[in-house]
Structure 1
Amino acid sequence: MRIPSSTLSVGPRSLVLVAASALALSACSKKAPESLPPAPAASTTTQTTPGTLGPVAGSQADFIAKMMGADVIYFDTDHYDVDATDQAALARQAQWLMQYPAKRATIEGHCDERGTREYNLALGERRANAAKNYLVSLGVSPARLSTVSYGKERPVALGSDEASWAQNRRAVTVTID
């Protein structure tokens, strides 16, 4: 069956009619609800036991909560020596680790962005080992501690200034099961 070409042509009147129909349909969209549903609950990585509020004793979340920032120690540029502030933080870590003798920990060594990749990997290793050696001197078994160096590959601060670099020159203790 063949349709005459005069039927297929669209005139100005037809275009106006189509545009008006589209406008009318778009005006019929749903109204906004009077009240919004509650926001989704924030996901947490802390484990809780029934009837308690807080992390499970001996978990990484418990370690972080008890350390209150002392799970990280900081270093001066190109240094890996453990100063008095670091010693106090590591003493708190050792105390927690002694309380949970089955827990193991990894000490991560980090550097700022300056220097070569190889230099920073070596410096990060020295920083992690310095923290490990101090924990061992406080009575933590060396068999429970491992080290890893990330060099400059995992910065916590992305700026290229002294404040950012200072945050990235660190050793972080992470407990593992």
Structure 2
Amino acid sequence: MIRRTTVLSLALLSVVGLDACRRRVVPAPAPVATSNDAQRQADSLAALRAQQRADSIAAAEAAAREAASANQRTAPELAAVLTQKVYFDYDQDVLRDDARAVLDAKVPILLANPAITVAITGHTDERGTAEYNLALGQRRAAQVKRYLEAKGVPESRLSTQSLGDSQPAVAGSDESAYQQNRRAEFQPSGGGALLRPRS
């Protein structure tokens, strides 16, 4: 019985051993693209990348032209904001809310254009003595300057002067004329083309 089990075990081992030595069938590899196909793919990919690069460069150049054009179109508008006058109440150098709004519109333009300087000139209406009006005009110009400095415009870029009542904006002796003459005017200079403030 032991002999029979041994013979059967040896026979089984032989069958398993022969099966292990048998050659396995390996599937054939997928067909490799011919060199012409590979070259066409490489050429196509290179052409696609070149086209994408050209499109990207063209888009960047178009954006730069558009930005330059927008800056040119808005330069007169920016200059108009910088020269816009502010007005004062009778015998006052305190900035009104509407004056603050006008000055607030100037600040980003001045900050975006650091080469620009501004001469601020204070004016009064005809009421009062010449000396008093010169002093009041100077206080008005100084008040405007302090406000702009508080908003970040360097003092070195702002100058003040007073003309008192010597150069009225409007001739007349009624309240409408007086109101238009109580003002501070702005004369920007330097800096070349105005740049739009960043949004």
CA deviations on 1:63-96 (whole Å, 9 max, x unpaired) are: 433x18x721100000000121111110111111
Looking at secondary structure, tell me which structure has more helix per residue. 2
Q: Which residue of 2 aligns with 1:71?
A: 84
Where does structure 1 differ by over 2 angstroms across 4 or more consecutive aligned residues? 51-57, 61-65
Which residue of 1 is the match for residue 16 of structure 2?
none
Q: 1:97 aligns with which of 107, 110, 114?
A: 110
Q: Does 1:143 align with 2:166?
A: no
Unaligned runs of 5+ in 2: 1-68, 191-199
Cα distance in 1 for partners of 2:73, 2:115 equals 17
Corresponding pairs, count? 122
Distance 2:174 2:73 in 1: 36
**What is the TM-score of this pair, normalised by structure 2?**
0.57
Asked whether 1:175 is paired with 2:175, we answer: no
Q: CA deviation at 1:56?
A: 8.3
- Structural RMSD (CA): 2.2
Residues 53/85 of structure 1: CA separation in 2 closer, same or farther (3 Å cut): closer
Q: Secondary structure at the match of 2:111?
A: helix
Gaps of 5+ in 1: 1-50
Instruction: From the CA coordinates, give the structure whose radius of gyration is larger.
Output: 2
Task: Name the TM-score, length of structure 1 as normaliser.
Answer: 0.63
CA distance in 2, matches of 1:165, 1:97: 30
What is the rounded CA distance, in whole Å, between the counterparts of 2:71 and 2:109 in structure 1? Answer: 20
Q: CA deviation at 1:106?
A: 0.5
